[in-house]
Homo-oligomer: A and B are copies of this chain.
Amino acid sequence: MPDGLKGLAINSATVRQMGLRDLIDACPRFGFDAVTPWRNQVQEMGVSAAARYFSDAGISVAGYCRAGLFAASTAGERRRIADDNRLAVDEAFALGAESLIILAGGLPGVGAGNPDRDLVKARGQVADGIAALLEHASGAGIRLAIEPLHPMYAADRCCINSLEQALDLCDALDPARSGLLGVAVDVYHLWWDPKLRAQIGRAGPDRLLGFHLSDWLVPTLDMLNDRGLMGDGVIDLPAIRGWIYDAGYRFRDEVEIFSERLWKLDGIEVLQQCAERCRVLVGQK
């Protein structure tokens, strides 16, 4: 891995043009020692086959993407979601994942064109959902990493939209700071926040469970899939990375980029570019 890194992870969505096996095989060549895979890929391979493949390759499972999507219109739907989230915990356990990424979900009914506009209620359902899942996850020793998403996704993807909000939730549900509930800090979602530095400090080593790298492009042509390689955008990555490690972050730098542009390239080329940009970034620290 690039000098100065504790370890470097790649989120498999960054190179979704590659199969998970090919990605795992290619990792060592570029200095990636861990992957954050997505559930559909793991389920397609079979959970135990995937776990064995990772283990045989000597590649760790960093995060596991993902559980959550709590808010729903009916109690029956919420039960189904809770069941599926518990299954995700079990899969994360089988994979030996360092954490399970929690994506809160947005407003119920948005996809169906019949949105429930009550954000406060949706956020309450998220809190209840995480509280219930935390019990199951704690039994398995699986860390839950709440990932706040950019406010532009509040309606349709995730109604946890700042680090402060995520940490308030952590403090409410896990006041003892067990180490099993925390946050994934993704620079793309949080770079703009004037309170980011202070909230990273507040999180500290117990709550900092993930650190995701990409960049914010200007202009951004698509709200979901036009993220940039580190250095191509406007985010002060060395500064934020400094805050993260100063706060005692103990896990890996992870590259997670959703980009139609990168998905059109050869996956190997993308891995090479991601690793190179991380090398530059670490040199700037």
A155 to B192, CA, bound (A): 8
Contact between chains at A162 and B194 (CB < 8 Å): yes
A90 located at the interface, meaning its Cβ lies under 8 Å from any Cβ of chain B in the complex: no
A242 interface residue (CB < 8 Å to B): no
Alpha-carbon gap, A156 to B192, bound state (A): 11
Interface size on A, residues (CB 8 A): 31
Which chain B residues border A162 with CB–CB below 8 Å? 193-194
CB of A196 to closest CB in B, whole Å: 9
The stretch of A58-66, A95-103, A111-119, A137-145 in contact with B is A111-119
* A156-197 at interface with B (beta carbon < 8 Å): 156, 159, 161-162, 165, 191-194
Are the C-beta atoms of A110 and B218 separated by less than 8 Å?
yes
- CB contacts (< 8 Å) of A110 on chain B: these are 218, 234
Partner of A155, one of B119, B150, B234: B234
Whether B161 contacts A218 by the Cβ 8 Å rule is no
User: A219 at interface (Cβ–Cβ under 8 A)?
Assistant: yes
Shortest C-beta distance, A131 to chain B (Å), equals 17
Task: List A residues 94-135 near B (Cβ within 8 Å).
Answer: 107, 110, 115, 117-119, 123
- B234, A115: Cβ atoms under 8 Å? yes
8 Å CB contact of A152 from B118, B123, B150, B193: B150
Q: Is A151 an interface residue (CB 8 A)?
A: yes
Chain B residue numbers with a CB within 8 Å of A156 are: 218-219
**Smallest Cβ distance from A202 to chain B, in angstroms?**
15
Q: What are the 3 tightest A-B residue pairs by CB atom distance, in nearest-first order?
A: A154-B192, A117-B236, A151-B192
Given contacts A115-B218, A151-B193, A156-B219, 8 further A-B contacts (CB under 8 A): A110-B218, A118-B239, A119-B192, A155-B218, A161-B192, A162-B193, A165-B194, A219-B223
